[in-house]
């Protein structure tokens, strides 16, 4: 891979988009490499994945406009489909994913952040969907994930206007979980993944599956799914270890079994 790197830090993987000469902008190759990296990580099974952009100027400044300007409609549809597939690997991965956002997170960059479970933004982060100003629309899930996250009215306002918002405003509307000092997003994400990794990995994964399920089904169906996941975990060694450790007043040692 030329533009995506994976760094392993104990039980956590850091996936970095590194195309700094283009502010980490997404073209077809970059998106395909993101998908390839995520498939590799899913088979390796870290306890959490941090997604970030190289440098402090941009998380991902958006899609590569020059590359898109030469696309015919069928090429554009294929590019969108490849993007959807990569974002689904983030969204539906059993592994918790955290976006550490520095600088610009525009268009496709914002869509990558939206596909993660949790978003941590540095003070210099800027979010937005400028696509309508180019005569197109967000094509990697922005029109679908943003309304689910912040509500349809606010999402439509941001998409229809193409307005950029600061990290602070993104926090106010629920687009990001927290805002930290400039240059501190990655460290804050590492601290959060340490909290996640301290818990039972199977419990975290099944919790993510149940929470994702809630977005797709009615309440009764979601509750049935939750009960099934709850029951499945009682067959694991981790559940016995966790409850025994609680009774023995010690720290549990989870093995993911």
Nearest to 31 by CA among 83, 107, 80: 83
| Tokens standing for residue 20 | 């700094």
> Of residues 40, 72, 111, 237, which has the active-site annotation?
111
Q: pLDDT at position 77, please?
A: 94
Is residue 241 over pLDDT 90?
no
Is residue 68 over pLDDT 90?
no
* CA–CA distance, 32 with 35 (Å, rounded to integer): 5
pTM as predicted: 0.92
Give 243's pLDDT tier (boundaries 50, 70, 90). confident
* CA–CA distance, 62 with 137 (Å, rounded to integer): 12
Max CA separation in the chain (angstroms): 64
Query: Active site includes 111?
Result: yes
Q: 63 has which bridge partners?
A: 26
Under 8 Å between Cβ of 60 and 109: yes
Under 8 Å between Cβ of 11 and 24: no
Average pLDDT score over the chain: 94
Token look-up 């956590």 returns: 12
Class assignment of domain 4-197?
alpha beta
Extents of the domains making up the chain:
4-197, 201-247
Q: Name the percent of the chain lying above pLDDT 90.
A: 82
What number is the average pLDDT over the span 75-93?
94
User: Which is the CATH superfamily of the domain at 201-247?
Assistant: Lyase 2-enoyl-coa Hydratase, Chain  A, domain 2 (1.10.12.10)
Q: pLDDT at position 45, please?
A: 86
Q: pLDDT at position 48, please?
A: 95
> Of residues 131, 172, 191, 226, which has the active-site annotation?
131
H-helix or E-strand spanning residue 75: helix 73-91
């Amino acid at each position: 891979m030329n533009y995506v790197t994976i760094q392993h830090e104990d039980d956590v993987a850091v996936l970095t988009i590194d195309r700094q000469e283009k502010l980490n902008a997404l073209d077809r190759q970059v998106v395909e490499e993101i998908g390839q990296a995520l498939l590799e990580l899913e088979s390796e099974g870290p306890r959490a994945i941090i997604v970030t952009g190289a440098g402090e100027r941009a998380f991902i400044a958006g899609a590569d406009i020059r590359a898109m300007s030469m696309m015919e409609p069928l090429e554009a549809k294929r590019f969108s489909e490849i993007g959807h597939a990569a974002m689904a690997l983030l969204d539906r991965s059993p592994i918790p994913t955290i976006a550490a956002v520095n600088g610009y997170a525009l268009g496709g960059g914002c869509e990558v952040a939206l596909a993660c479970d949790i978003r941590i933004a540095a003070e210099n982060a800027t979010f937005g969907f400028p696509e309508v100003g180019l005569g197109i629309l967000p094509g990697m899930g922005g029109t679908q994930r943003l309304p689910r996250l912040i509500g349809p009215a606010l999402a439509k306002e941001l998409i229809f206007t193409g307005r950029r918002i600061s990290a602070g405003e993104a926090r106010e509307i629920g687009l990001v979980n927290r805002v930290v000092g400039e240059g501190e997003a990655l460290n804050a994400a590492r601290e959060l993944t340490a909290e996640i990794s301290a818990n039972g990995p199977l419990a975290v994964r099944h919790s993510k599956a149940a929470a994702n399920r809630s977005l797709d089904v009615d309440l009764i169906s979601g509750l049935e799914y939750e009960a099934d996941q709850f029951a499945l975990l009682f067959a694991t060694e981790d559940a016995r270890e966790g409850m025994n450790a609680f009774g023995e007043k010690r720290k549990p040692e989870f093995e993911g079994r």
